[in-house]
Structure 1
Amino acid sequence: MNRRNAYLITAALALLSVSPAVAAPAVDHNREFQACLTLAEKRPAEALESAQTWLNRGGGDHARLCQALALFHKGDFTTAGARLEELAPVLGKDDPKAGASILGRAGWAWLRAGDNVRAERAYSRALALQPEDVDLLIDRAIARAETERFWDAVADLDAALKRDPRRAEAYLYRAAAHKALANDRQALADIDRALELRPGDPDALLLRATIKAQAGNLPGAREDWSQIVRNTPASAAAKTAQANLDRSAKAPAPAPAAKGEAKGGAAPAKP
């Protein structure tokens, strides 16, 4: 179960527990909800059918929530995002944290659908309910970076790290934003901090290698690429690192310095 589902389940079950009681309930809605969410992650098509059956038996908005999550896991991110946004004010009416959690999942659905504007809007609505939520700040930063609003992304990540300075992924995302803004020194500092918290993290090493290579430090870049391939050979970063190692091995060696050329660069122009 991922972090975006963990609180959502707890909050929704809390909402169910305060629903008006009925004599000898024919349906255990708490159990139905738990089972439906578990099925949604593993077999979303079956979960859609199960949620519809539950809806017909009085499952109400919680059955609709399960349908929306099943659509998310099925890959229908646009429909899932729209339905989650509709359900958030209903299921979160008396519980801002639950509403924020559902809006956060809506934001993730819009990100997966490629609609970064709607993703940011959903995250902003969620943060209006839970302004201290570090995960929501990080997720909105991702949405903002996707629309190349890098300074806004940095602002969200600054806020997230002020609240929780041990979030390695926040340092890494901020490093990527700083790199996009050509702030390589700050990017490298953030990568170093991320690696202190997550030694050997392949994504951090890959980003550092990219910065080194673009700065002309190919030996340093190759060292990072080699470490990725050696330590995390099955990772996606390792595939990219190996391709870069192969490409750099075929690159022509730098031409020898011309006679009279300064060792560190071009010869000074004559007055």
Structure 2
Amino acid sequence: MISGGEQMFAFCTGHVVLLDRSNRIGARTLRRLSFEDFTLILALCLITAVGFPSPGRSQTNYSEMEVKQAYQACLDGSHRDPEAKFEAAIAWRDEGGGPPARHCVALALFDLGQFKEAATRLEALAAEMPIASAREQSAILGQAGSIWLHTGNLTRAHTILSQSLELDSNDPEIWIDRGDALARGGEYWDAVDDFSAALDLDENRLDALVFRAAAYRLLGVNDLAHDDIIRALELDKDNPDALMELGAVHAGLGNFDAAREAWLRVLSVAPGSRPAAAARQALQRMDVKVE
């Protein structure tokens, strides 16, 4: 479920470096629910009293829109003014918007940087949707867990993501998020299990392959780490995160020329990116001058 700061392990000459990766999920730090999938929105709309707008009314606020239109506008994440989005969401909620409006308020809080409050409200929302399915509750909890992960509260993230998976274990995104939490806490074998579960659901998840490769490498299982990163690069030969991890695998094996080549490739394909900054740092540690 790769904006915001995402974390991926990159081992370089004896050090573990955390790479911030760009937007894996719409917001990797917040799993945006796809409006294309109407299951959640219909469940939320069934338990709200929001009506349709009167003919001719201006639709400048969520509370003045048809509920599906308002919810879509909130979920698309494109609002340029987080304060205005928050105010519109609050007004919608106060006018009887129900769960969709409460969800929108939580998303607006996330956009405002109020991460803990956003996660807490999402947890409460998931618990207070009496006719929602397990899948729908799981999706909301998955967002909450992703936010806790973003805040660095690994214990809470793991707890909430585990609850999400108990409700619905068929979303690879949630397995990846929980694996990420485990890996950041040093529980690499458990992280491998979660990344593997994600790959069982979708064998072409490049991010899961790169995460699992990093976990294998940190466990010293370099052959499996290498296999995973090669699979990832077969999916996207210029993916900067996969190239960064390829360099880390080579460096861990003492193949510094190959590591240098991979990291220089990162600078070539993604100049100015966060992986490029990490690659530059890794190269500097190898005493390579990078212009």
SS of 1:242's equivalent? helix
Answering whether residue 125 of structure 2 is matched by residue 98 of structure 1, we say no
- Does 2:232 align with 1:204? no
Q: Relative to 1, partners in 2 of residues 1:125 and 1:23: Cα closer, same or farther, differing over 3 Å? A: closer
Q: Does 1:182 align with 2:210?
A: no
User: Does 2:30 correspond to 1:6?
Assistant: no
Q: Secondary structure at the match of 2:226?
A: helix
Where structure 1 has 5 or more consecutive residues not aligned to the other structure, the ranges are 252-271
SS in structure 2 of the partner of residue 142 of structure 1: helix
1:117-160 Cα shifts (integer Å, max 9, x gaps): 11111111111111122111111111111211111111111222
Q: Which stretches in structure 2 are left out of the alignment for 5+ residues?
A: 1-24, 55-63
C-alpha distance in 2 between matches for 1:35 and 1:199: 35
Residue 43 (structure 2) pairs with residue 15 (structure 1):
yes
Distance apart, 1:116 and its partner CA = 0.8
Q: Which has the higher helix share?
A: 1
For the 8 Å contact 1:16–1:29, the answer to whether it is kept is: no
- The aligned residue for residue 12 of structure 2 is none
1:217 is matched with which residue?
Answer: 255
Single out whichever of 93-102 and 108-117 deviates more from structure 2.
Answer: 93-102
Identity of matched residues, %: 37
Residue pair 1:151, 1:177 contacting (<8 A) in 2 also: yes
Residue 233 of structure 1 is matched in structure 2 by: 271
| TM-score (normalised: structure 1) | 0.82
- Cα deviation, 1:81-112, whole Å, max 9, x if unaligned, reads 11101101223643222111100100011011
Say which one has the larger Rg: 1
Higher RCO (C-alpha under 8 Å, 6+ residues apart): 2
CA RMSD of superposed structures (Å):
2.6
- Report what 1:50 is aligned to: 88
TM-score by length of 2: 0.77
Q: Which moved more, 1:233-242 or 1:145-154?
A: 233-242
How many equivalent pairs are there? Answer: 251
Contact 1:174–1:187 (CA under 8 A) maintained in structure 2? yes
When residues 245 and 113 of structure 1 are mapped into structure 2, their CA distance, relative to the original with a 3 A threshold, is: closer
Aligned-partner Cα distance in 1 for 2:49–2:259: 64
Contact kept, 8 Å, 2:141 with 2:164, in 1: the verdict is yes
Residue 267 (structure 1) aligns with? none
- Of 5-14 and 224-233, the range deviating more from structure 2: 5-14
| Deviation (angstroms), 1:22 | 8.6
More strand per residue: 2
Asked whether 1:245 is paired with 2:279, we answer: no
Deviates more, 1:120-129 or 1:24-33: 24-33
Q: Which residue of 1 aligns with 2:233?
A: 195
Distance 2:159 2:287 in 1: 45
User: Which of residues 145, 151, 162 is equivalent to 1:113?
Assistant: 151
1:148-189 residue CA offsets vs partner (Å, 9 max, x unmatched): 111111111122212221111111110111112121221111
What's the offset of the Cα at 1:216? 2.5
Letter matched to residue 132 of structure 2:
D
Counterpart in 1 of 2:185? Answer: 147
Aligned to 2:118: 80
The residue type paired with residue 6 of structure 1 is L
Match of 1:63 in 2: 101
Whole-angstrom CA distance in 2 between matches of 1:113 and 1:176: 22
Task: Please say if residues 32 and 54 of structure 1, whose CA atoms lie closer than 8 Å, have aligned partners that are also in contact.
Answer: no
Q: Is the contact between residue 33 and residue 75 of structure 2 (CA under 8 Å) also seen in structure 1?
A: no
